[in-house]
Amino acid sequence: MNLLITLTLLSTVAMSGFRRLKLMTGTFMIQSLSIAFICFFLGYETNEAHYYALGMLTILIKAIVIPIIMNKSINKLKTAREMNMIINGYWSYIFSSIFVVIALMLLKNFRQDLIKTGLVLILFGTFILITRKKAINQMIGFLTVENGIVLIELSTVQMNLAIEFGIF
Amino acid sequence: MELWLIFGLIALSTLISFLIKDIKTISCINISVSIINFIACILLVIKVESFDTLFYLEKILFLDSYSTVQLFIISGVTLVSSIYSYKYILNEVKHQIISIKKAKIFYILFNLFVFSMYLISFANNVMIMWISLEATTLATAFLIGFNGDKLSLEAAWKYIILCSVGITIGLVGIILLIYSTGSNVTMENLNWTYLSKHYSTFDITITKIAFTLIFVGIGTKAGFAPMHTWLSDGHSEAPSPISAMMSGILLNLALYVVVRFYVIIKNIDNLQNFNKLFVIFGVLSLFISSFSILKQNNYKRLLAFSSVENIGIISLGIGFGGYFGLFAAVLHSIIHAFGKTLLFLVAGNILENYKTKRIDKIHYLFKFMPINSAFLILGMLIITGAPPFASFFSEYYILISGIKSGHFIATIIYALCLLIVFAGFLVAFMKMIYTKQNDVEVVKLEEDGNNIVPLIITLVFVVFVSAFLMDIYIT
């Protein structure tokens, strides 16, 4: 479990320095996959079916369909890199580490690590949304925010499957 | 019964616009559906008056007096803008600005938009409320980018990014709020009616964070001032009937969702001063939008900023509270919906003939399009709050409630901003209507009387609200 959370966090932080668009989608895929495995793990622990369903959905949509669509549209583009970011890679690393600290400080009363990771993902997703100029990078930022919400929702309240699908 | 009629008919109309190729039949069906829905909504309003609250589908959907107000606004404005889009779309297709396929897409999205708005006003389950709010974002994003040129695509992208982020922040807030109840989550205790009764078990710290997140997040969609930047682009680029619906209904509905959550938390001890949030954001919206109106050179943008201003007024009414404040806020949301619809539709008519949105390119409208300019003046008077209309009374009551509740600085800024807005409207529209251009021969345009019926219906609504509805509420 801790390993999976670490993987999610690492892939998120790693995203901040990448310029190549394909590398971005790749890391995003790793992030979604590790979230899906977190779902499976929770399902295995609690024996509830809807965790499995959520994990399958995450794999199907966020790890397979969306990266394929993105790679297709990247191939159509002329430039494969994000050239002028508003905040460059070096500072993005620093910011993402600041986000981790903020999340740990704000939510130190919570036992679970999932909700902290979720907050980091939301903060970092909005950060990417603001500082990148390419539309695809902004999409990835938005999807990262969504992944963060899935994590928060997993850790706090267990919704019905229909509603989980709606959030999706 | 009426509920199933409403949702079934809209679904049917979506299906028909998917299958049939003839645009004329599609739009006729669309109009008749919205007329039937309007009648059904009126029946529901009468029903709620005698039963107080109605529940459907194991309490997932419900109706009380506040949601019937929204229902009245939705059905009325939808009726008007579906009648308007009949001629609008036919005209666009005739001049080959859009293809038939695109017109079909317009009607499909239109129906989806209306469907999700009805769902918001019916929803009792807070998650369904949120999901349908998100659904309106998706439907309207495509409608904003409908023209497909660079400006409208940019506006749609801005809209989708800002509103989705806002609404996800709102979702985090909602999740935290439900978490703070401390109970296991079933369908039953996601209901608004359950949450509003069991506020005493809430964890105070988490609830504070949660409501602030909800307010800021969903307030983005309502168009409060620091988060209003999508609004001016989005409303000015969308097709006119859609901008009318967006600014008349959608902003109201987003505010309605925020108010629903406010009702849940306002009785908790130590959280009574959360109405300050409404006051601060309301004053900020008023201040920013009134100065933006003064310097505007695009009349649709001007109307969009005026929506921000009116949302500010409504939220001030809620923030001041008291009987007068709340009553005036509800009344103002109704009159603003119809008045803004009238103005946006007139702006659509002008845009269709002049093909420009710039104020300084339009002269002497009073001679070129006399009927439309008469409606323009009327709409301006309604929105700025001139005496015979209900908007005057709502703004006046908000002023009174502000003084009564002791928010003196906010009240002073409010009064000043109303004056500035009035001046801004006068400068812009008088320039369009009365300024003479010397070297152009004055000929009355033939298209002047083309799309007048929806304007008349809107005016009837406004007069109805001003004359009858106020009496009902006051007594």
Q: Is A156 at the interface with chain B, CB within 8 A?
A: yes
pLDDT digits (tens, 9 = 90+) for B17-34: 888 888 888 889 999 999
pLDDT at B474: 58
Q: Count of A–B CB contacts within 8 Å?
A: 45
Residue closest to B213 by CA, chosen among B247, B257, B178, B177 = B177
CA-CA-CA-CA torsion sign (A121, A57, B214, B293) = positive
The predicted model gives A22-33 an average pLDDT of 88
Count other C-beta atoms under 10 Å from residue A105's C-beta: 9
Query: Which of B414, B394, B416, B411 is CA-nearest to residue B337?
Result: B394
Q: Smallest CA–CA separation between A67 and chain B, in Å?
A: 19
% of chain B beyond a pLDDT of 70: 97
Q: Token pair for residue B25?
A: 């039949």
| Nearest chain A Cα distance for residue B246, angstroms | 23
Instruction: Write down the ipTM of this complex.
Output: 0.83
Give the residues across from B280 on adjacent strands.
none
Mean pLDDT for B65-80 is 90
Question: Phi, psi at residue B8, to the nearest 5°?
Answer: -60, -45
pLDDT at B306: 92
Share of chain B above pLDDT 90, in %: 30
A106 close contact with B: CB closer than 8 A: no
Contact A129 B168 (CB under 8 A): no
Q: What is the pLDDT of residues A69-125, one digit of tens each?
A: 888 888 887 776 766 777 777 888 888 889 889 888 887 777 777 888 888 888 888
- Do residues B226 and B289 lie in contact, with contact meaning Cβ atoms separated by under 8 Å? no
Above 60 in pLDDT, residue A162? Answer: no
Task: Say which residue the tokens 């933006």 belong to.
Answer: B292
pLDDT at A73: 84
Question: Which residue in the set A135, A149, A166 is minimally distant from B172, CB to CB?
Answer: A149
SS3 A100: helix
Q: Which of A158-162, B177-181, B434-438 has the lowest mean pLDDT?
A: A158-162
Residue B401: closest CA among B460, B343, B314, B463: B314
Residues 6+ apart with CB under 8 A from B26: B16, B17, B20, B103, B104, B107
What tens digit of pLDDT does each residue of A37-57 get? 988 888 888 887 778 888 888
Substitution target from A46, A156, A161 for chain B, most B beta carbons within 10 A: A156
- Partner-chain residue, chosen from A129, A149, A163, that has the shortest CB–CB distance to B161: A129
Q: What is the pLDDT of residues B34-50, one digit of tens each?
A: 999 999 998 988 888 88
For the segment B173-195, the average pLDDT, to the nearest whole number, is 80
C-alpha to C-alpha distance for A9 and A30, rounded to whole angstroms: 11
pLDDT at A157: 63
Check residues B313 and B444 and name the one with the higher pLDDT: B313
The per-residue pLDDT for A77 is 77
Residue A139's pLDDT is: 84
Confidence of residue A158 (pLDDT cuts 50, 70, 90): low
Question: Strand locations in B124-263, DSSP E?
Answer: none
Residue of B nearest to A156 (CA): B179
Q: Please give the residue range of the domain that contains residue A34.
A: 2-167
Sign of the torsion angle spanned by Cα atoms A75, A61, B257, B264? negative
Provide the pLDDT confidence category of residue B193 given band limits of 50, 70 and 90: confident
pLDDT of residue B415: 93
Q: Supply B439's token pair.
A: 């070297």
Q: Is residue A62 predicted with pLDDT exceeding 90?
A: no
pLDDT value, residue B31: 92
**Structural domains of chain A, count:** 1
Residue range B101-139, pLDDT digits in tens: 888 889 999 999 999 999 999 988 888 888 888 889 888
Q: How far is Cα B458 from Cα B345, in angstroms, rounded to an integer?
A: 10
Q: What is the pLDDT of residue B116?
A: 92
Instruction: Tell if the CB–CB gap between B161 and A138 is shorter than 8 Å.
Output: yes
**What is the per-residue pLDDT for B431?**
85
Per residue in A122-151, pLDDT (tens digit) is 888 888 888 887 778 888 888 888 888 888
Are B249 and B337 spatial neighbours (Cβ–Cβ below 8 Å)?
yes
Greater confidence (B330 vs B474) lies with: B330
Cross-chain residue pair B172–A152, CB shorter than 8 Å: yes
Chain B residue numbers touching A145 (CB-CB < 8 A): 165, 168
Q: Judging by DSSP bridges, how do beta strands B54-56 and B61-63 pair with one another?
A: antiparallel
How confident is the model at residue B259, as a pLDDT?
Answer: 92
Q: Count CB neighbours of A84 within 10 A.
A: 8
* Average pLDDT for chain B: 87
CB B458 within 8 A of CB B338: yes
Predicted confidence (pLDDT) per residue in B221-251, tens digit: 988 888 888 988 888 888 889 999 998 899 9
- What pLDDT was estimated at residue A161? 54
Question: Containing H/E element for B409?
Answer: helix B408-434
- Contact: A166, B165; criterion CB under 8 Å: no
Alpha helices in B238-364 (DSSP H): 240-245, 251-265, 275-294, 299-320, 322-354
CA torsion, ordered B119, B123, B128, B131, to nearest 10 deg: 40
- Is pLDDT above 60 for B169? yes
